[in-house]
Chains A and B, each alone.
Chain A
Amino acid sequence: MNHWIQQHPLTFAGLLLWAIGIILLMPARNGASKRPSPVALGLTGAGLAAFLAGFGRTDAALVPELLFWIFSVGALAGGVLMITARNPVYGALWFAVTTLCTCGLFLTQSAPFLAAATVIVYAGAVIVTFLFVIMLARQSGSAGYDQKSQNAVVACISAFLLIGAITKTLQTTSVDFPRPVIASAEDQKLSGSAENAAAEEDSEPKQESAGTSAAGLAMSSTSVRLADPEDLAVAAATPAPVPNQLSKADANTPVGSLRGLGRSLFSDYLFAVELAGTLLLVASIGAIAIAPRREEGAL
């Protein structure tokens, strides 16, 4: 723990400043906090910037770096302003900002379809419905319960302990995570090492099982091989069936391609898709049944 703080002082200081800023930004007891104080806003912004800058420099190009900074700062700052908003309408609008910035982060993480779907579902439907309900249930003036938060200090302390634990875990343990490497066709042709031969040997039964499980969907000739030789040895010793082989990316369907996503959804997760459709039906029926009817009186 101490070692981690000494290694990443910027991240730790950023988290601390961020927590203090949020505590100060929360709507307080007295009526003097009609608008957020600039000191608390500055503290929160500085903490956020230090938290993000604490991850060090990456060797990404300028444009992806810039996009990441814009989207992540927008998402986190929008989230802070949303949960500290005195007016629920402004809260909903800041949530819209956060949603759009999250969709930008989806784009940088090679999920363009999800970015579009999230914009359509959230910005197009969810936020409009929220604003509609806020306007419907709006009193004249500002309500007292919007001007006062409960348990702000305890909530911030526990939440920032949680994110500190997540940060430490991610930074210390999973950097050496061995990830599967997509072998392209030329790569397989060119390399004739023993490791690659083992990879070929390992990937043969996978392809067969995939071909038998999904009759129409033929796998392409490339295969996914595990990177580590030890992992390969373990995998060869215990021939476990690889689950959801059709969800794996290969050279023809890289991660984030609509083809790969559809193949995963409608082959490996077909039952779940049906369940999700049933859930939507049940939820819409339930919402209609719960909502107050016209003959029960106006709001």
Chain B
Amino acid sequence: MNSSTPMTPEELRTLMVAAGLFILGAIGFITRRNLILLVLSAELMLHGVSLSLVTFGRIHQTAEGQAFTIFVLTVAACEAGLALSLVLSLYRQVHSLDIRLWTELREPDVQQPPSDDSGDSSSPESAYVGIPRLTPAGIAPRAVPGEASTTRA
């Protein structure tokens, strides 16, 4: 057994994957506008932190990294529950999950973010672009003059 064992390449690249998870969560938290996706991005950042803690614990040959990760797991569960109930109560007030609707705490010199121009309202028509439409086909049913008037009425 030699005197000094450096960090192995396996541990180094696992730390890099953890850093990648963290920055992906950070990008998602800044860029997305859906409240639920914001909370999910925060959970992604917590995954990155957990993976780093486990790897650090393995490098230092101690169980503390994994013990900390258990606490991270606990806090993440609490955070998910609280965040989702907050999201629900916010959604009940404005009937939208857009983060831009909640800008009352911004600094006074920061201008209001531009509200959505084109696609603000939900666009149910564009969501079903790929679905084929049925063209009318076959023989048109015979119209009985008396029946048509009764069914219409």
The chain A residues found within 8 Å of chain B, CB to CB, are 22, 26, 31, 34, 51-52, 55-56, 58, 60, 64, 68, 72, 75-76, 79-80, 82-83, 85, 88, 91-92, 95, 98-99, 102, 105-106, 108-111, 113-114, 117-118, 121-122, 125-126, 129-130, 133-134, 136-137, 139-152, 154-156, 159-160, 162-163, 166-167, 170-171, 174-183, 187, 195, 224, 227-229, 244, 247-249, 253, 255-256, 260-261, 263-265, 268-269, 272, 276, 279-280, 283-284, 286-288, 290-292, 296-297, 299
- 6 A-B interface contacts by CB (under 8 A): A83-B32, A114-B73, A122-B43, A144-B122, A155-B27, A163-B22
Binds A, one of B82-90, B104-112, B135-143, B145-153: B82-90
Contacts of B21 in A (CB 8 A): 75-76, 79, 98, 102
Contacts of B31 in A (CB 8 A): 26, 83, 149-152, 155-156
Question: How far, in angstroms, from A64 to B8 measured CA to CA in the complex?
Answer: 14
Would you call B47 and A155 a contact (CB within 8 A)? no
Query: Given that A159-B23, A177-B7, A249-B62 are known contacts, is A99 also in contact with B74, CB under 8 Å in the complex?
Result: no
Number of B interface residues in the complex (CB < 8 A): 93
Closest CB in chain B relative to A33 CB, distance in Å: 11
Chain B residue nearest to A132 (CB atoms) is: B84
Chain B residue nearest to A126 (CB atoms) is: B80
Query: Given that A139-B122, A143-B98, A279-B74 are known contacts, is A290 also in contact with B89, CB under 8 Å in the complex?
Result: yes
Question: How far, in angstroms, from A298 to B124 measured CA to CA in the complex?
Answer: 22
Would you call B30 and A60 a contact (CB within 8 A)? no
Would you call A142 and B17 a contact (CB within 8 A)? no
Contacts of B71 in A (CB 8 A): 269, 272, 276
Q: Lowest 3 CB-CB distances: which A-B pairs, in order? A: A141-B124, A83-B28, A144-B119
Question: How far, in angstroms, from A22 to B24 measured CA to CA in the complex?
Answer: 9
Q: Which of B13, B66, B78, B82 has the most CB of A within 10 A?
A: B66
Q: Which of B40, B113, B120 has the most CB of A within 10 A?
A: B40
Query: Given that A83-B32, A155-B26, A255-B62 are known contacts, is A286 also in contact with B3, CB under 8 Å in the complex?
Result: no
Would you call A228 and B4 a contact (CB within 8 A)? yes
Closest CB in chain B relative to A104 CB, distance in Å: 11
Would you call A133 and B87 a contact (CB within 8 A)? yes
Would you call A98 and B67 a contact (CB within 8 A)? no
Contacts of B33 in A (CB 8 A): 145-146, 148-150
Contacts of B51 in A (CB 8 A): 102, 105-106, 109
Contacts of A60 in B (CB 8 A): 10
Would you call A133 and B122 a contact (CB within 8 A)? no
Would you call A195 and B36 a contact (CB within 8 A)? no
Contacts of A283 in B (CB 8 A): 77-79, 81-82
Contacts of B3 in A (CB 8 A): 181, 195, 227-229
Question: How far, in angstroms, from A154 to B37 measured CA to CA in the complex?
Answer: 19
Would you call A95 and B44 a contact (CB within 8 A)? yes
Contacts of B27 in A (CB 8 A): 22, 83, 155-156, 159
Query: Given that A265-B70, A279-B74 are known contacts, is A187 also in contact with B1, CB under 8 Å in the complex?
Result: yes
Query: Given that A56-B9, A126-B77, A179-B59 are known contacts, is A167 also in contact with B116, CB under 8 Å in the complex?
Result: no
Contacts of B80 in A (CB 8 A): 126, 129-130
Question: How far, in angstroms, from A56 to B12 measured CA to CA in the complex?
Answer: 11
Contact of B61 among A75, A109, A180 (CB under 8 A): A180
Would you call B62 and A248 a contact (CB within 8 A)? yes
Would you call A227 and B122 a contact (CB within 8 A)? no
Closest CB in chain B relative to A47 CB, distance in Å: 11
1/0 per residue, CB under 8 A from A, across B32-48: the answer is 11101101110110010
Closest CB in chain A relative to B89 CB, distance in Å: 5
Closest CB in chain B relative to A296 CB, distance in Å: 7
Contacts of A176 in B (CB 8 A): 4, 6
Contact of A133 among B23, B69, B88 (CB under 8 A): B88
Contact of B116 among A145, A224, A265 (CB under 8 A): A145
